[in-house]
A and B are shown apart, each in its own frame.
Chain A
Amino acid sequence: MKDEFLENRLHVNRRHFLGKLSLGLGSVALGSLLIPDLFTNSDDKVPTLGLPHFAPKAKRIIYLFQNGAPSQLESFDYKPLLTQMAGKDLPESIRNGQRLTGMTSNQTKFPLVGSHFSFKQYGQSGTWVSELFPNMAKIVDDICVIESMHTEAINHDPALTFMQTGAQQGNRPSMGAWLSYGLGSENKNLPAFSVLLSRGRGNGQGVYSKLWTNGFLDSIHQGVQFSSSEERVLYLKDPEGRDREASRKMLDNLAELNNINYKEFGDPEIQTRIQQYEMAYRMQTAVPELADLSHEPDHIIKMYGADCLVPGTYASNCLMARKLSEAGVRFVQLYHQGWDQHGNLVGEMPLQAQDVDRATTALVMDLKQRGLLDETLVIWGGEFGRTNYCQGDLSKDNYGRDHHPRCYSIWMAGGGVKPGVYGETDEFGYNIIKDPVHVNDFHATVLHLMGLNHEQLTFKHLGRRYRLTDVAGKVVSGILA
């Protein structure tokens, strides 16, 4: 008798191997269908699944992460009661044992404070928006504000890591890496998961490359950071003195030499290496073309604001995000730092808002006018909320807010999301009273919109099948269009 078990195992390997080869050869005919991931070597698994589980609503994501945690009470969660009760202590019945950070745990008083900035209702939905975001106010009928987000983490590092990887600790793959793994790339010249960073004028918190890590997934799924320097992607630029033509020649010679070796050793990895050099070469042309904003018409520049021509600004990154997304990049992740208003909120938050309000709005409108908003999911928000009481001394015209995990607001637009307001907090803006959305639920919903079942998108690592949603999460059907 054959050893069926071993036979089974070897068969799977053979199938995987032959599959890679056949697709490699067939890819010429398939043209732009080529998924670069298929050419990667993986010791363990088929590196990309490449298929959604069901028909997706969105094909691409642009996640505008507001790093440091913008206050929900000065943006979308309007609480007039806080203004009426300004200076009065947060009732213990409301706080109800909520854990505090090391920064306010020594405070003996928790004086409530309302928004310094006025609110108005906008659009058909009548969504409340503060005066800090006059442009976003104009697109409320395109966005779904979730006022009932909540998280488990209370400090930046773990909270950010939780939002991005589904776990506070540990080296888990980021959302973008999961999507690259689950769906592959739509563009053969650009990485499926791209990252852009910018910094505002407020108190900032760092971002870390672990936020766009591939974790235990194949490193082809790692986020590729686009920088603001002349060299948009690390190591992209040809060296001084070697032009495109000379690089092309180098590649031709390389391929010829590598092929000699392939004939001798027969190792398919050699062919893969040749293919990867070709993709690198294509990226070298594709990325600078994409990053070149000089061909954008005036009305677009006007929409995003003049800042969009200054590389490294949030506005510039928004415009880049549109171009990347338009070119088929699966997941564009922006981080904008500076939202950590422990003090001087009245001074800092308007500056932060000014930097993002116009460009964010422009991005949504731009996608819409191009007919891309339907298939692009745009997400705006931070890692947790801020307290309804003042951190430190409450003065007449200024205050600060500490971290608050129990509720915060984010919004989503496009790609299968129903505009409006979802969830509700109590009149103190401290606890959720309707439709809570946990971080795991948020992830489950995002995957759902992309056509993936969060319980089926798994990767077995060290004996356990891991998910972006770990062991929890349910799709928030109330926001689906």
Chain B
Amino acid sequence: MGKTSLKVLFLSSILLLISVRCKQKGALVIKSDSVDFNLHIRPILSDRCFKCHGPDAKQRKANLRLDTPEGAYAALKDDPTQHPIVPGAPDKSFVYLRIASTDTAEVMPPPSSNLKLNKSEINIIKKWIEQGAKYKKHWAFIPPKKKSLPEISDKRWPKNEIDYFIVASLENADLSPNEEATKELLLKRLSLDITGLPPSIELQNAFMKNEGEQAYEKTVDELLAQPHYGEKMAAHWMDVSRYADSHGYQDDGLRTMWPWRDWVIHAFNENYSYDQFVIWQLAGDLLPNATKEQILATGFNRNHKITQEGGVIDEEYRIEYVTDRTNTFGKAFLAFTFECAKCHDHKYDPISQKDYYSTFAFFNQVPEKGLVGDISLASLADPPKIKITSDEVSKILTFINKKDTAAVEVMVMKDAPIKRQTHILKRGVYDAPGEIVSIGLPSAILPFDSIKYGNNRLGLAKWVTDKNNPITARVFVNRIWQEFFGRGLVKTSGDFGMQGEMPTHPELLDWLAVDFMENGWNIKRLVKQIVMSATYRQSSLVSKEKLEADPENILLSRSPRLRLTAEGIHDLTLFSSGLLVKEIGGPSVKPYQPKGIWESSTSGRGVLARYVQDHGDKLYRRGLYNFIKRTVPPPRMLMFDGSNRDQCEVKRMRTNTPLQALVLMNDPIVLESARVYAERLMADKSTPEEKIVKAFRSIVCRHPKSGELSILLNYFNDEEKIFSQSKEKAKQFINAGEYPHTNVDNVATLAALMQVIHTIYNLEESITKT
């Protein structure tokens, strides 16, 4: 294993092979001696074998299925003398012989499938057969249990239960965790993670002064109590719910769903329990004596795209919407790829096509049409919808930030009085109805009992939030973990099925999930639990040894360094300069955007054909409120891996590209923030050095080191000289943005300070949780 070949480069048909020799220093030694089906075997079988020998009966080859022990042990139907797997005897196991074969006509998987097993995978299957070839239920279907905390040798480090699990797996790999991060870095991380905003200098000062465990906890509580917590949590939920301000197809007309978005912020701030949060969104309208707030919450299922294209067939698109709701339900709450079962039985997971349409049936009862409204009119929501008046806003729905007096209409869910029959759609095609199905949910997860739960969407909501449902709590806990650590305990946070990755810390995941349910699905409590842990608080310093041993930081021997999200970068910029308008909620805003991008792609129809930029306060709202036109989302958002809100997304990528550098260097909002902040600092009676230190602390959230400060100070002095020689340039430079200018006598000094602040905004650390 000492030699690794990398085939990467191609130019003009010349292939270059570069060999890289590397010594395996500090390779992980994992102490375990038995092969586990769930951990080791199923991922291989599922990925390489189930496509043809799995749950999908129609695609099954040679009458052989390997996803069940019955199938694997039974004599082959085509040749009863052969057994696919003979526990204890790999040499008699047909499967082993075929995967180990060197004959290309014999070997499985066949070369034509473009799939392969490597040596170590073949060996591990052999070992598994030798050890008895035991099958286990897929881990996600086994209800989580709270196991006792693992034994560890270093008991001084842990601060709460989470740490016991983390340290146990680190000790198992001969790694140790890092010390706690410095107070400054920790506070930045904490503040960004809980509120999405950096800590102010005042908060930094107060935090530095206070010593001890209680000071940290007090800060955690204070941050959790800020209304900005709700905004931060809502930002992720917008991706999950595929929220947008336009309909999403073709001419892409305007829609009004922002009052629903305001409700999500409210729900997080009020700390609604997760089960309530889910029930209201899935079936608030069906609750007894449903309140207007509960009905509003169901807007979740109306955030899907809607067509306004003249020539479409109504039913085709109506089916598309029900499909979207079904798929979103599967991904958002259960982390299962339901969509695979729309056209055929799922190839990997026990979700049949019939299961799919049984779930589909719950969402198929909305009295709606496929083709909506007229593009020339604004905000035509198809029924069902609710009207929210100013009176209601002032009395009951006080969380809606509605300024004008006109009532606002929002799309919500409703079931038609007469039940619509649901058919299996052959190949998933809208006009190929097959067998009629009744409501139901995949029994592999939890059998659905319509008498216990009820036979409508409310029943579905109760099923998903039933404490016996083995998945719901795990999925949510995992995604919250992902928000803080960049990757979930299950890395594939959108796929808990056979093709998803195994949890890296299964016992911790289960412990957290059960603990979460035992404590009333309390979200703020869960968040606090995570940030109070030593695991969360450790520094992100990474030694060469650790980097080599665990480059992806799977075992969390250090805190991850993570680039902020698109919204996070925007918010940090505005907050640190003092430009941020801290208003919560309200209609989405249209800040600066490069000219012509809506105009160049539109047909010219509809109110969103042209981008009419806002002015004043609306330029300085948090990224969460940026208007999302689905067919042309804000480019800055896309460049920093934001979702285009086409469909439910539970995880964003985190890339590092040249276009991101261009945004930070040239986006007017970043330049304006630097300008306004420089103007404000100019008004302080302080030395240039003090001004630079202050700006650095606001943006990077720590004191600069002496080396950093001297670079910045020299830079400032140089720039001041250059700008004094060219006042015209200075004037042009400080002209950035619409925010009113303060009169500053010395434009060269202002421009130089602005340039230095702008440079600080562009530091890698500024946009990184360190």
Contacts and interface: CB of A to CB of B under 8 A. Distances in A.
Interface of A: 1-8, 10-11, 13-19, 22-23, 26, 30, 32-33, 35-36, 38-43, 48, 50-52, 55-56, 59, 99, 101-103, 154-157, 169-171, 183-184, 186, 191, 197, 199, 204-210, 213, 218-220, 222, 224-225, 227-229, 231, 233-243, 246-247, 249-250, 253-254, 256-258, 260-261, 264-270, 272-274, 276-277, 279-281, 283-284, 312, 337, 402-403, 455-456, 458, 462-464
A207 B601 contact: yes
Contacts of A10: 27-28, 549-550, 554
A254 B13 CA distance: 37
B100 to A, nearest CB: 16
A240 B311 contact: no
A234 B348 contact: no
A171 B644 contact: yes
B635 A234 contact: yes
Contacts of B249: 157
Nearest to A273: B764
A156 B310 CA distance: 10
A233 B659 CA distance: 9
Provide the main secondary structure of the chain B interface: loop
Given A101-B312, A242-B755, A236 B662 contact: yes
B657 A4 contact: no
Interface string B643-684: 010110000011111111111011110010000000000000
Contact of A462 (B492, B731, B735): B492
B78 interface: no
A14 B551 contact: yes
Contacts of A41: 654-656
A52 B4 contact: no
Contacts of B687: none
B544 to A, nearest CB: 7
Contacts of B712: 253, 257
A219 B638 contact: yes
| Interface-centre pick from B492, B631, B718 (highest chain A CB count, 10 A) | B631
Contact of B707 (A43, A170, A260): A260
B631 A209 contact: yes
Given A56-B13, A462-B337, A250 B755 contact: yes
B309 A280 contact: no
Nearest to A261: B765
B320 interface: yes
B594 A235 contact: yes
Given A239-B666, A276-B657, A258 B763 contact: yes
B666 A236 contact: yes
Contact of A265 (B313, B540, B647): B540
A36 B722 CA distance: 34
Contact of B654 (A43, A241, A456): A43
A132 to B, nearest CB: 23
B687 to A, nearest CB: 20
Interface string B726-754: 00011111111000000000000001000
Contact of B307 (A154, A157, A208, A257): A157
Interface stretch (B150-158, B264-272, B497-505): B497-505
Contact of B602 (A206, A238, A455): A206
Contact of B655 (A103, A219, A243, A274): A219
A11 B4 CA distance: 10
Instruction: List 6 A-B pairs, minimum CB-CB distance, nearest first.
Output: A463-B499, A241-B733, A101-B311, A3-B30, A241-B732, A208-B631
Given A51-B15, A269-B563, 7 more contacts: A7-B28, A8-B118, A14-B551, A19-B6, A32-B11, A235-B594, A239-B671
Contacts of B705: 260
A271 to B, nearest CB: 9
Interface string B307-326: 10111111000001000000
28 contacts: A4-B40, A7-B28, A7-B120, A8-B121, A10-B550, A14-B24, A17-B551, A51-B10, A154-B311, A157-B249, A199-B600, A210-B630, A219-B655, A228-B596, A239-B666, A239-B733, A241-B735, A243-B729, A246-B719, A253-B711, A254-B763, A257-B708, A260-B705, A266-B543, A269-B561, A274-B764, A279-B661, A456-B114
Interface band, chain B: 35 or more
Contact of A15 (B4, B309, B313): B4
Contacts of B762: 250, 254, 277
Contacts of B763: 254, 257-258, 261
B250 A206 contact: yes
B251 interface: yes
A276 B755 contact: no
Contacts of B68: none
Contacts of A283: 658, 662
Nearest to B733: A241
B733 A240 contact: yes
A8 B603 contact: no
B11 A155 contact: no
A396 B52 CA distance: 59
A222 B656 contact: no
Contacts of B13: 55-56
A102 B6 contact: no
Interface in B422-461: none
B123 interface: yes
B494 A157 contact: no
B21 to A, nearest CB: 10
Nearest to A253: B715
A99 B312 CA distance: 11
Contacts of B307: 155, 157
B209 interface: no
Interface in B457-484: none
A40 B655 contact: yes
A199 B601 CA distance: 9
Contacts of A103: 310-311
B372 interface: no
Nearest to A402: B311
B653 A219 contact: yes
Interface of B: 1, 4, 6-13, 15-16, 18, 20, 22, 24, 27-33, 39-40, 114, 118, 120-121, 123-124, 249-252, 307, 309-314, 320, 337, 340, 347-348, 371, 486-487, 492, 494-495, 497-500, 540-544, 547-552, 554, 561, 563, 594-597, 600-604, 630-633, 635, 638-639, 641, 644, 646-647, 653-663, 665-668, 671, 705, 707-708, 711-712, 715, 718-719, 722, 729-736, 751, 755, 758-759, 762-765, 768, 770
B18 A227 contact: no
A22 B8 CA distance: 12
| Interface-centre pick from B251, B666, B768 (highest chain A CB count, 10 A) | B666
A156 B124 CA distance: 51
Contacts of B759: 250, 253-254, 257
Contact of A235 (B7, B114, B551, B659): B659
A463 B660 CA distance: 29
Contact of A102 (B10, B371, B638): B371
A208 B310 contact: no
A3 B347 CA distance: 28
B542 A266 contact: yes
A462 B552 contact: no
B8 A51 contact: yes
Nearest to A236: B662
Contacts of B544: 266
Contacts of B15: 51
A211 to B, nearest CB: 9
Contacts of A246: 719, 722, 755
A329 to B, nearest CB: 14
B220 to A, nearest CB: 24
Contact of B30 (A6, A38, A99): A6
A14 B499 CA distance: 22
Contacts of A312: 600
B27 to A, nearest CB: 7
Nearest to A56: B13
Contact of A247 (B7, B632, B665): B665
